[in-house]
Amino acid sequence: MNHFVYKNDDLFCEDVPITGIVEKVGTPFYCYSHATITRHFRVFRDAFKDLDHLTCFSVKSNSNLAILKIFALHEGGADIVSGGELFRALKAGITPDKIVYSGVGKTPEEMKFALTSNISMFNVESEQELQALNTIAGAMGRKATVAIRINPEVETHTHPYIMTGHSENKFGISLENSLQTYESARQMKNIDVKGISCHIGSQLTDIDPFLNALRKLKDILQELKKMAFDIRFLNLGGGLGITYEDEKPPHPLEYAMALKEVLGKENITLILEPGRVIIGNAGILITQVLYTKSTKNKRFVIVDAGMNDLIRPTLYNSFHAIQPVKIIHSEMVVADLVGPVCETGDFFAKDRKMPAFQSGDLVAIMSAGAYSFSMASNYNSRPRPAEVMVKGKLFSIIRSRETYDDLIHGEMIPEFL
């Protein structure tokens, strides 16, 4: 469920008409529904209420401070993959003891920052990372709490770029080497092994891969108990999918019930790292039609947003529903919705049936809350769009539209030129 609805043929976000925001903000811009974000987070968190658990929002899916603040106010945690994301999570008020740090390429500076910040734990993804973390923690006179991220080798049906649980992916440590890695970690003076972790991919709409991964982690957990490890945390990562088109992902309650059945009576804290399932359908991208154009074989609707604002369709061939902000055209046509970026790959929809948009019409690109602004760039020297949050009858700009001066911030022409 989301709070983007039509009232008398006008698209609203909660109780605010999108056209009213356009008048104040211009286009393009991202619009987020506070009610949708909070509802999705509560539903997911409460599905596990009878388990000792921590819900850590996946910051990479959307890292705006205002959005992270919502999770801080609801006592949520953060799953981070960089020093910058750690900085953002702390700035938003998420407490360090609810922050877990994943990612295969943590730099020494990032490790120091995380140790100084007293985060909950590191999800370690290689032997060399483990050694580096031990050295750095020792030099700081600290101990680093870690979980070892294991590659469970389970089959997932998602885009290959967002599969993360196979040996051909760069993430995690293989099942066959996992116990050896745990033993190596135990010998390190500045490492405190407290967890077991995995993450098998993103936009998964079937529960079975999660259950298969959990079963394999439970097997490893039993072996670690025999080896006298004190494992207190089991991190199952994120990855639960959403409906973009006609997908039928499981409800978080169904997901939780299935996990709990496999987990059984294990005395362990479950860590979950949802991102897309919380924020994906809580945000949309609003853009305006500049021109329409027809060729012998194609009809194009050219808008003022581009692939630099939302790269998912060209990167993943992902589907985003296309809706009018104001329902004024009864005629439907087959067209490509494209942007102004100088790339043939600059599109949001290809050969899609959509309203017969005309110049000046406003278009809503739906399900754009996750991996959208967070992946935006300045390609073609295009300023990134504004971001807006709506709460009831109120809306606020939560990120200003970039200016041309912002584009060259930090750049300088050397004296020898």
d(CA 225, CA 208): 26
CA separation for the pair 39, 251 (Å, rounded): 13
What residues pair up with 12 in beta bridges, in sequence order?
Answer: 5, 17
Cα–Cα dist 131/124, whole Å = 10
Tell me the C-alpha distance between 353 and 361, whole Å. 16
Cβ-contact 197, 189 below 8 angstroms = no
Closest CA to 335 of 303, 367, 372: 303
Q: Among residues 13, 31, 56, 342, which one is catalytic?
A: 342
CB contact at 8 A, 236 and 195:
no
d(CA 272, CA 251): 15
- CA proximity to 237, closest of 277, 181, 192, 183: 277
Beta-bridged to residue 363, according to DSSP, are: 287, 324
> In this structure, what token pair is assigned to residue 146?
């870690």
- Catalytic residue check, 342: yes
Using CA atoms of 285, 372, 37, 385 in order, give the dihedral in degrees to the nearest 10.
-50
Instruction: Count Cβ atoms within 10 A of the Cβ of residue 160 and give its class: 0-12 exposed, 13-18 middle, 19 or more buried.
Output: exposed
How many CA atoms lie less than 13 Å away from 84 in the CB half-sphere? 5
Dist. CA 200–CA 150, nearest whole Å? 10
Residues marked as catalytic:
342
